[in-house]
Chains A and B, each alone.
Chain A
Amino acid sequence: MKTLLHPDAGLVDAATGERLTGRELATRVADLAALLDEEPRGLVFATATAELDSVLRILAAWEANRPVALLDPQITPAALRDLVDRFRPAVLLNPPTLVDGFQPASAGLGTAWRRTGPAGRAPHPDLALLLTTSGSTGNPKLVRLSRAGVHGNAAAIAAALGLDGDEVAPTTLPLHYTYGLSVLTSHLHAGATVLLERGGLTSRDFWAAVDRYGVTSLAAVPYQYEMLRRLRFAPARHPRLRTLTQAGGRLHPDLVADFHGRMAEVGGRLFVMYGQTEATARMTVLPADRLPAKLGSVGLPVPGGTVSIRTDDGAETTAPDRIGEIVYRGVNVMMGYAESDADLARPDELGGVLATGDLGRLDEEGFLFVTGRIKRIAKVFGVRVNLDDVERSLGHHGPIAAVAGADRLVVVVEGTDPDRLAGIRAEVAAALGTHSSGVQVRGVDALPLTPTGKPDYRLLEAEC
C-alpha cells in the first residue's frame, strides 16, 4: 500500500476548529510532499506536536517516501544537537531551537531548515520511521521501523479494535511516543477522524472538545487511568465515548476491573493492549468481551502476529503456563536499532522476530500474561528507566535495589529513617526529572539476597 491515508480519513484541530477530510486532506499532504521532494535527499527530523501543520508534515514525509525521526517537542538544545550530529538529517521540521549548518527551507513547509553541507548516508529504502527508545537521559538509540511495519501495524490495530469511519479519537498522548502515534496511524488507516488536542485529560478544553467533536475513544497509559479515576470519569456523561484503550505498561488489575466495569455499564469497552516501540506499537490486544474471564492478560496477538515463549533452555513453546521470554513475530517488528547515520542504511536485521525482554506465559487459549522483565527496566509515567543506572547513581546510600512497580520506580534501601528515605526519594525524582509520586522508596532492615549474593529482584518485585 502506498499511502497510510484512507480516503475518508480526517483531522480536526481542537484549538482552531479547522477540519481536513478526504480529498482535501490528501491534497494538502500531497502538496507538502511535493515541496519536501525539492529539499535535499535524506532523513527528516520532525518534532511531533498535536497541531494540524505538524501532523500534515509528518504525513507528507511518509507520502514523499522520506524516513522521518519523530522528536519530543520539549527536546533540549543539547539533545537535539547530539541527534543532529549522530544522524545527520537533511531536513529539520519545526525544531525548537536553531542548529548550526542549516538554512531556511521552502517557506511552504513552515518552520523548516535544510542542511547546507552534505547529509548523512542514504537511508535504507524500506525505512519509514525512527522513534527514540528512552526518555530524557543518555544518548538515545533510534528504533528503525519500516513502511510495511508502520502500515501493517496500523491496519492490525484497526482490525483488532474494530475501528471504522465513525470513530473519533483525540490525541491524549505525545505523538513522538509509539502508542500516541499508533492512535493517529490506526485511525487514519481506518478512515476515522483524529482530534488534535493539546490540553490533556486535566484541562477543561479537553472535555469540552470530547463532547463538541463526538469523541468515541480515549487512549491512556497507567498514570492517566489514575487521573481518570481521580477525575471520577463517568462515561454516561459522554454518550459517544464508548471505548477506552490501555497500553504503556502494566495497569493494576483492580483498575482494569474498575474501568471495565465503568464502560460495561454503558455498553462500552476497555481494551488492554501490550506493545513496544521495537514492534512499531502494538503486539497484542485483549478482546473487550473476554476481559472479565482473562483479567490480568494482555490478550491475543494482533492480526498477522504470533507470540511464543522462550524458556530457560532456549526452546520456544506455545504450551500453556510455561514462563519465559516473550517472543513476537510479525511484519511490525523493527529493522533494528540505529546509533548513527551509518546504521540508517542497514537492511532489516531481525527478520520479523523480536525477543521482547519481557517475561510471560500463555494460557490454554493462547492469551498472553506478562509476568515481569528480563531487562532491568522500569517505566515511570510511561518513560523507560534503566534500573541498573538508578542503582549505580545511588550507590553512596549503601545497599540498594531498584525494581519496577506498576508505572512506578521502587527503590529499596537498608534503614528506615523517614527523613533519609524522603531525601533519597527527592534525589531520585530530581535525577529522573519526574514528579516524586513516580518514585517509591521503601526501607528494610536487610535487602533479601539470592544465593549468589545479588538482590533478590523477583522477590522484591513480587512485593511491589
Chain B
Amino acid sequence: MELQRLRTVFRTALELPEEAEVDGLEYRGIEKWDSLAHMSLVATIEDEFGVMLDTDEVIDLSSFDRARQILEKHGVVLAD
C-alpha cells in the first residue's frame, strides 16, 4: 500500500496544508498535533486502514514513524 495514504491522513487530521512535510512529525512537536488532534488522527487512521488500535497503540502513536510501525503490526504495510 502507498505510504502517501498515511501522509494524507496526517495532513487531514492535523489540518496541515497539502504540501506539508509530515514524515518527521512527532506528537506535540508541532502546535497542530495536540491531544485533540491526536484523537482525530487515531480515528482517521482507523477509518482509512480498517484497523482498531488498542489503548497502548493510541498512546504509543507518537510520531509518523510509529504510526507506520503500528500499522505494520496490523498487517498494513506501507511503502513509497
Contacts and interface: CB of A to CB of B under 8 A. Distances in A.
Interface of A: 200-204, 207, 223, 226-227, 230-234, 381, 426, 429, 434-438
Nearest to A204: B59
Contact of A231 (B27, B36, B55): B55
B70 interface: no
Interface string B32-75: 00111111101100000000001100111000000000000000
B36 A230 contact: no
B59 A230 contact: no
Contact of A435 (B27, B40, B42, B59): B40
Nearest to B40: A437
B60 A381 contact: no
B54 A381 contact: no
B15 interface: yes
A241 to B, nearest CB: 14
B52 to A, nearest CB: 9
Given A201-B35, A435-B36, A437-B40, 6 more contacts: A202-B27, A202-B38, A204-B60, A429-B15, A435-B15, A437-B39
B54 A227 contact: no
A226 B39 contact: yes
A435 B37 contact: yes
Contact of B43 (A202, A223, A230, A436): A230
Nearest to B52: A232
Contact of B59 (A203, A381, A426, A438): A203
Interface of B: 15, 27, 34-40, 42-43, 54-55, 58-60
B15 A234 contact: no
A385 B54 CA distance: 34
B55 A381 contact: no
Contacts of A230: 39, 42-43, 58
Contacts of A231: 55, 58-59
A234 B40 contact: no
A381 B40 CA distance: 13
Contacts of A203: 59
A232 B55 CA distance: 6
A223 B36 contact: yes
25 contacts: A201-B35, A202-B27, A202-B35, A202-B38, A202-B39, A202-B58, A202-B59, A203-B59, A204-B60, A207-B55, A227-B35, A230-B58, A231-B55, A231-B58, A231-B59, A232-B54, A232-B55, A233-B55, A234-B55, A434-B36, A435-B37, A436-B15, A437-B39, A437-B40, A438-B36
A223 B40 CA distance: 11
Contacts of B39: 202, 223, 226-227, 230, 437
A203 to B, nearest CB: 7
A207 B57 CA distance: 13
A248 to B, nearest CB: 14
A438 B35 CA distance: 13
Nearest to A202: B35
Quick one: which of A204, A434, A435 has the most chain B CB within 10 A?
A435
Nearest to B28: A203
Contacts of B40: 435, 437
Contacts of B60: 204
Nearest to A200: B35
Nearest to A226: B39
Contacts of B35: 200-202, 227
Contact of A207 (B42, B54, B59): B59
Contacts of B55: 207, 231-234
Contact of A381 (B15, B27, B36, B42): B36
A429 B15 CA distance: 10
A426 B37 CA distance: 14
A231 B55 CA distance: 5
A223 B39 CA distance: 10
A162 to B, nearest CB: 28
Contacts of A437: 36, 39-40
9 shortest interchain CB distances as A-B pairs: A435-B36, A202-B35, A437-B40, A231-B55, A204-B59, A232-B55, A202-B38, A227-B39, A231-B58
Quick one: which of A202, A203, A233 has the most chain B CB within 10 A?
A202
Contacts of B36: 223, 381, 434-435, 437-438
Nearest to A437: B40
A438 to B, nearest CB: 7
A312 to B, nearest CB: 38
A273 B66 CA distance: 38
Quick one: which of B34, B37, B59 has the most chain A CB within 10 A?
B59
Contacts of A207: 55, 59
A303 B42 CA distance: 41
Nearest to B56: A204
